[in-house]
Amino acid sequence: MVQIRSVGIIGAGQMGSGIAHVCALGGYDVLLHDVSADRIKASLAQIERNMSSQVGRGLIDEEAMKNGLARIKPAEELQQIGKADLAIEAATEDEEVKKTIFKALAPHLGPDTLLASNTSSISITRLASATDRPERFIGLHFMNPVPLMKLVEIIRGIATDAATYETAVGFAKSLGKTTANAEDFPAFIVNRILVPMINEAIYTLYEGVGTVEAIDTAMKLGANHPMGPLELGDFIGLDTVLSIMNVLYEGLADSKYRPCPLLVKYVEAGWLGRKAGRGFYDYRGDQPVPTR
């Protein structure tokens, strides 16, 4: 099995930043790449804030934070990621974007470099087919927010070999995560169950069964969920929710996975949730206010 000492991360958004955070605290040298240099800079600042918060809560000490931050280096050019032992793609949930990244990265990879995607729904087999090493390709689906959530779903493509899988499991466990093996079916385990629930909550709103506030209150107090489904959709990003529903609908050809028209409308309006300032709640004031 390959010994992983360095990790390259492609995508400095919420997920990529979180993965960089936990890898650095886990003792790995981290290269963080994004098409936007400003986004890398913003990501590094966010990681520092998040680690400071962990120090404040007694989860890590100052020394661990100092050493962790020192391990993360910006990589403004994609080819720099090829130097890493493991390259993790954490770009937007779009199959063509992900395939383009892997094709562009291929000429710069060492012969033993492992590839992983943090995709939350897209076929690992199809993504692996865009690379020169499908046997060394695997799905590592971290949960959001990565520093807090304990689970990593591990998904093998049809060509993924046993050594790659064992290395991936060992890597995830070295970060303090618990792993769950998922077969390569649309949306895997967590999002196959979770995202249709969010979609059904949106249908419940669309059909007038309850208001935003009523639906979220009902699920928080009636099902003991820490966050209501509409609030959770905003947290994930409604564009991501729609993308996963489309993967399920197209991949399984079952009408129960049809995206709610209201979800489509919100995404078309650019009301994508927290990251856009508006979704099922308006986040531009002191307190979130339902938008319907």
Which position among 121, 153, 231, 243 bears the catalytic label? 153
* Contact of 137 with 106, CB cutoff 8 Å: no
Rounded-to-integer distance, Cα 76 and Cα 189, Å = 34
Which position among 6, 117, 120, 243 bears the catalytic label? 120
Dihedrals φ, ψ of 124, to 5°? -70, -35
Distances in Å between the Cα of 146 and the Cα atoms of 30, 149, 258 are 15, 5, 29
Distances in Å between the Cα of 252 and the Cα atoms of 9, 187, 245, 257, 262 are 30, 10, 10, 8, 22
Rounded-to-integer distance, Cα 287 and Cα 292, Å = 15
Rounded-to-integer distance, Cα 161 and Cα 118, Å = 18
Verify whether residue 191 is a known catalytic residue.
Answer: yes
Which position among 118, 191, 199, 243 bears the catalytic label? 191
Verify whether residue 231 is a known catalytic residue.
Answer: no
Which position among 141, 199, 231, 243 bears the catalytic label? 141
Active-site residue list: 120, 141, 153, 191
